[in-house]
Amino acid sequence: MMTQFIYGLLFYIFLMLPPVANLVESIMITHMHMQMPMLVVSGFLMAGIFLKRFPRFFEKWNSNGIPGITLFMIVIIYWTIPRTMDEALTYQAIEAWKFISLPFLAGFPLRDSWKKLTKAGKNLIIIIFTVKYFGMGALYIWSEDQLCNNYLVIDQLTLGWGFITTAICLVIYLVYAFTVDPTKYE
């Protein structure tokens, strides 16, 4: 747990280094589909030690994982609004908010909540994200306007297709989850 925390922390610091942050933020799709998930991952790694140290707190306030996963979804959805991504580049405060909210308000609760959810609950979350990703993909691809002032329209198209591709992967997983019974192969 301690090593995991250290790796998570180092990863977090690495993502914060100005050259690293500038590089991934210079391209729209790496900003959203690389930097943001990696921030969540860093929080996820760092969370373990806290869950272990304060199990009572999480058991009391997040007993079934629903509040935690809701918080996770709120934060993730918030960061897929075109405006928030633009503002992270334009305003220092919003950039700082991104680096705080994604690891600590998305990565942390995800770690505590995911294992507490039932199988149906997990699939429901994945279905929500699938629908959302198809929607966001369609928005970014077929929007007539330039949604983000800081990025080129071609970047916007790339991001849209990135969303669609991710959604397709989620669909494949869901088909697998609903049709294949793993116990048959054990």
Partner 1 sequence: MFKNRHTNISLLVVILFGCVLFYIGTDGFKAFTEETARVNKLVDEQPEFPNVTLEDSKGRTYSISEFEDKYLFITFLYTSCNTVCPQLEYNMAQVYDLLPKKYIGEDIVFLSISFDPERDDPSTLERYRKAFKSDGETWRMARIKDQNELDSLLEKFGVIVIPDGRGNFTHNSAFYLVDKNRRLIDVMDFTENEMAADKVTSILEKEVGQQ
Site string for partner 1, 49-88 (x = CB under 8 A): -----------xxxxx-xx--xx--x---x--xxxx-xx-
Cβ distance to partner 1 smaller for residue 11 or 79: 79
**Nearest-angstrom CA–CA distance, 167 and 144:** 22
Neighbours of 161 (CB within 10 A): 13
What is the DSSP code string of the chain? -HHHHHHHHHHHHHHHSHHHHHHHHHSHHHIIIIIHHHHHHHHHHHHHHHHHH-HHHHHHHSTTSHHHHHHHHHHHHHTTSHHHHHHHHH-HHHHHHHHHHIIIIIIHHHHHHHTTS-HHHHHHHHHHHHHHHHHHHHHHHH-SS---TTS-HHHHHHHHHHHHHHHHHHHHHHHHHHH--GGGG-
Cβ distance to partner 1 smaller for residue 90 or 165: 90
Q: How far is the CB of 17 from partner 1 (least distance, A)?
A: 24
Q: How far is the CB of 27 from partner 1 (least distance, A)?
A: 13
Is 106 near partner 1 (CB under 8 A)?
no
Cβ distance to partner 1 smaller for residue 6 or 152: 152
Q: How far is the CB of 141 from partner 1 (least distance, A)?
A: 16
Structure tokens at 57: 């707190």
Q: How far is the CB of 152 from partner 1 (least distance, A)?
A: 4
Site string for partner 1, 133-172 (x = CB under 8 A): ------------xxxxxxxxx-------------------
Q: How far is the CB of 77 from partner 1 (least distance, A)?
A: 8
Q: Which residues bind partner 1 (CB under 8 A)?
A: 60-64, 66-67, 70-71, 74, 78, 81-84, 86-87, 90, 145-153
